[in-house]
Amino acid sequence: MRITRLHIYGFGKWINHTFDFSDDTIQWITGNNEAGKTTLRQCMLYLLFGQTPKEIEKYMPKQGGNIGGTMTIEGLSDEPIIIERIYKRNKGKAVIYLHNGKIEDEEWLRSKLNHIDRSFYEAIFSFDVMDLQKIQQMDVDTLNEVLLAIGMTGTDRIYFAEKELDKQKQALFKPNGTKPMMNQLFAELDELNIAYRKALDEEKTYAFQLSNKDTIEQQLEANNHTINQKEKTYNQVKLLLTHYTTIESLYMKTQQYNRIDAKATFPTDGIERLDYIKEKMLPIQSEAEVVKKKKATLDEQIKRLSSELLEESTISKMEVEMEAYESMHDKERELHQLKQQAEQEKRQIELQLHQLHISLSFEQLDTIDFSFQTEEEWNMLSKQSEQYNMEKQYVNEEYRAMTTLIHELEEEVREKEVLVASTYEIEKAKEEIDNVSKQKSMQQMNKRQKQLMNQLKKIPLLSIPILLIAFYLFVINQVQWGIVIAMIGILPSLFVFVLIKLITPVQVTYQAENIDSTEQLQETQIWIEEQERMIARIEQIDQLIKQHKIEQLKLSERMQFIDMKRNQIEEKIRDQINHYPFLQTIDLSYWVNLYHKLSRIMEQYESYLRNTNQIKGMEEEITSWKKKHKEMITSFQVDSIEQLRSLTQANKENKDKLALLKQDRDVLTEELALLKQKKKPYMDEMTQLLQEQNVASEEAFRKSGEDYRIRTKLLEETNQLIDSLKVSFTTKEIKSFQDGHYQGKALLSDSLQKLEQDIRLLKESHVHLQEQLNEVHATIIQLEKLENVSDLHQKIQFKKDELATYAKEWAICHIASETIAQTKSTFIAQHIPDLLDKASKYFNQLTNNMYTHIIFKEENQWIYVQNNQHMLFALEELSQGTRDQLYISLRLALSDLFTNTKLPFFIDDSFVHFDPTRKEVMMELLREKSKTNQLFYFTTSTEPAYQSVITL
């Protein structure tokens, strides 16, 4: 980018002035102090980037007019453009006139300048004398920081920004401080919180006061109630004292009245009427007494006899017992007969057993238990035993006959085997016979060959005419046909010739071996046939022996089977003998017969057993009855059946006597009933009198009459007293007086005094409670109006708001400073090596190769420089001039590193204090730099007259 022309409408001292900048790279602008160099630089920056009103108004032309101008620039677009910016016109924004007549706005310009703003531009591309002066005044630590910051942004602002943020943070908050604003607010909030808690506690008493109010109100109500009660009692006591004499008299009369146990009514002339009835009843009562005595004597006799009589149930039991006695007597007779019969049966059985002559006694019969199959089983055992014995005998004989036959056949075979020739001899004889047969057939074949040869020998003769025909064909020049025909003629003759040559040796061989043996052949034939017959016979006998041996084996197996069966039968017989030992001595064939005889004996034995059981049952029955009979006799308090009979007889006689006595007594009873009827009207009247008064006796009736008189008198007196009390007391109270429920006069007087005192005290307490209630009520109303908690809560909120504002400020500062620090660290790691590499080149050039490298040590974040002897120097070891060179190197390196667009440099007399040598080196570097970037150099110096000097 190149600025070719600047036209100023007005900017500080410059009014309506035009500067044309040549094509040369460095634009030297010289002028004394106050000539307007800085103003010119500011004007160019204003036109490019604008400026804040506060800053721009410093450049207001004294004569008035617009601040602003135009600037022609090449390199931002294909064609040159003109930027116009006028303060307070178009809101101070630039207007860009393109070559094609189009107009663009500020945004277009900013995009062309890669969105670099003025501060960034100044930081990198603008140098002035102040920059260097500033670093010259710094201590080494600050300088290191500033140089690092410059390395990063081109300016020292990182350092100052961090400082500024830290300062702000410190003013807001320190973890252990008291003065910073937030620390103060914390303290204030704590204080407010205490006040708030206190106010809360105060308001909390509201609930207590409400409950207090309820309690006092309840107490007041209770108090009121007590006073009323006491006053009521006081009046009552007072009244009692007034009527005390009457009350006491009433009580006494009532007591007297209550003591008399009288009925409320009494019959009219009751006593007189009683006396008259008594006089009338006296003679009837005397007669009745005599009859009663007679009747009593009879009753005594009846009672005695009745007690002597046996009860009807006892009598019937006695009769039953006597009948049972008779019945049992019959049973004893029957038993005797049965015993005799059983004895006879036993003797008969024993006799029969004796006749059988077997070892079986009468007692052993009990052990015999013939089943339904015993007879069958004994019969079967007898038959099978006999059958198997016979069979065994027969098989034994068969076996012996078979053994003899086999022996004879084996003997015959042995004789024949001696006469038979060997198999080899027979085969050899057969071979000889075969050879003789072959020789005969050969002789016949030779005969047939001889005949064939004779016929073949005639074939070559047929070839002669054919050859002649061939010769003819040669002659008539038919050579080809001649050859063919000649071949046909020659080939059969050749064939016959070869065939005769082959057959001839065979004929010679057969003729040599021809032998004659017909007789020998016949003999041999006969011998062979004989031998073959004998061999056939031997084979037949061998077959027979084999069959017989099989038969013999079968017989042997049958014999084993019979033995096994016989053993089984024997086993069964033994079982039977074991079960029925008496069979031991008896042959098996007699068992069935024995069975029948024993069965009959067993039937008799069972009859005997049945009788025996019946006898036993009857004996037990009789014994049991006798025992019961004895007990029964004892229960009737007699010793024998005879005594029992006499006792029943006596009882019958007493019964008859008792019936006569009862008849006499009935007569007397009728007499008594008549007397009672006479007395009844008088008795009824007297009973009515006693019933009316509800008394049981005549004496009681008379006493009741007297009591009734006294009571009636007392009642009249009491009623008079009650009437007088009714004026002051209720009926209930009067009743309680009558019951004696009233205190003594002295006690009543004391109560009256005490009640007076109580009432006075209660009234005093009532007043006190009322005062308390008023107080509590007032407190409640006051509490209900309280707004302290609400206010304090809002106050705390205000303080919290304030605190939150500061906290936010602190947070923003803290985030900003921490992020800057973090970015710094990242940035250094990423870019510083590259930057220092570029800066080192400038530094090397500026120091005439004295210093070759700028080095940054991460461990202490410190910048060092290295000289051409490879020695390291810290910043404090460098001269001021070298430090300036280091600063410039970093700035120039930064311009290479961070901007793509080649923007112009503005250098405002920055190197004024450089010595000539150093300045020359600097100028040389700038000249090189100006090849890529346009360079405006503002200076007071006029010494070297360079090209394109604009002198102000």
Residues 825-864 that bind another protein (CB under 8 A): 826-827, 830
Closer to another protein by Cβ: residue 29 or 152: 152
Please say which residue, 423 or 819, places its beta carbon nearer to another protein: 819
> Would you count residue 790 as binding another protein (CB under 8 A)?
yes
877-888: b (≥16 Cβ within 10 Å) or e: ebeebbbbbbbb
User: Applying CB under 8 A, which of residues 468, 812, 871, 912 lies at the interface with another protein?
Assistant: 812
Choose among 3, 94, 111: nearest CA to 46.
94
Q: Which two tokens stand for residue 123?
A: 């930081």
Of the candidate residues 796, 921, 950, 952, the single one contacting another protein (CB under 8 A): 796
Q: Residue 798 interacts with another protein (CB under 8 A)?
A: yes
CB of 130 to another protein, least distance (A): 11
Please tell me the distance from the alpha carbon of residue 779 to that of residue 797, in angstroms, as a whole number: 29
First to last CA, the chain: 24
Beta carbon nearer to another protein, 141 or 417: 141
The verdict on 793 binding another protein (CB under 8 A) reads yes
Span interacting with another protein, options 39-47, 369-377, 778-786, 838-846, rule CB under 8 A: 778-786
- The upper half-sphere exposure of residue 272, i.e. CA atoms within 13 Å in the direction of its Cβ, equals 3
Question: How far is Cα 936 from Cα 952, in angstroms, rounded to an integer?
Answer: 14
Amino acid at 446: N
Number of chain positions touching another protein (CB under 8 A) = 75
Closer of 603 and 784 to another protein (Cβ): 784
Task: Choose the binding region for another protein from 425-433, 704-712, 816-824, 939-947 (rule: CB under 8 A).
Answer: 816-824
Q: Is 865 helix (H, G, I), strand (E, B) or coil?
A: strand
Q: Which residue from 26, 40, 109, 189 is in contact with another protein, where contact means CB under 8 A?
A: 189
| Minimum CB–partner distance for residue 145 and another protein (Å) | 12
Dist. CA 184–CA 195, nearest whole Å:
17
Q: Does 108 bind another protein (CB under 8 A)?
A: no
In the region spanning residues 302 to 331, those forming contacts with another protein, defined by CB under 8 A, are none
Query: Hey, which residues between 111 and 170 contact another protein (CB under 8 A)?
Result: 114-117, 119-120, 152-153, 155, 157-158, 160-165, 167
Contact present, 306 and 658 (Cβ < 8 Å): yes
Query: Which residues, numbered 875-914, are part of the site for another protein (CB under 8 A)?
Result: 898
Q: Which tokens in the block code for residue 152?
A: 């990063």
**Nearest-approach distance from CB 42 to another protein, in angstroms:** 16
Three-state SS for 785-812 is CCCHHHHHHHHHHHHHHHHHHHHHHHHH
Nearer to another protein, 93 or 768 (CB): 93
CB of 140 to another protein, least distance (A): 15
Secondary structure of the chain: what % helix, strand, coil (to 5)?
A: 75, 5, 20
Question: Identity (one letter) of the amino acid at 465?
Answer: P
Q: Which residues have C-beta within 8 Å of that of residue 900, sequence separation ≥ 6?
A: 114
In terms of Cα–Cα distance, which of 604, 618, 606, 623 is closest to 338? 618
Q: Which is nearer to another protein, 422 or 900 (CB)?
A: 900
Can you give the C-alpha Rg of the chain in angstroms? 89
Determine which residue in the list 171, 195, 807, 921 makes contact with another protein, applying CB under 8 A: 807
Decide: is 815 part of the binding site for another protein (CB under 8 A). Answer: yes
Stretch that binds another protein, among 203-211, 233-241, 717-725, 922-930 (CB under 8 A): 203-211
Q: Does 200 bind another protein (CB under 8 A)?
A: yes
Distance, CA of 82 to chain centre: 85
Q: Is 52 in the site for another protein (CB under 8 A)?
A: yes
Decide: 258 and 710 in contact? Cβ < 8 Å: no
User: Is residue 409 at the binding interface for another protein, with CB under 8 A as the rule?
Assistant: no
Q: Identify which range of 231-239, 541-549, 686-694, 820-828 contacts another protein by CB under 8 A.
A: 820-828
Among 88, 192, 342, residue whose Cα is nearest residue 803: 192
Residues 207-246 that bind another protein (CB under 8 A): 207, 210-211
Compute CA 825 distance to the chain's CA centroid, rounded to the nearest angstrom: 57
Residue 789 binding another protein, by CB under 8 A? yes
**CA–CA separation, 772 and 218 (whole Å):** 12
Report the residue number, 120 or 843, with the smaller CB distance to another protein: 120
Check binding of 436 to another protein (CB under 8 A).
no
Q: Which uninterrupted H or E stretch holds 761?
A: helix 745-784
Instruction: Check residue 787 for interaction with another protein (CB under 8 A).
Output: yes
Q: Does 640 bind another protein (CB under 8 A)?
A: no
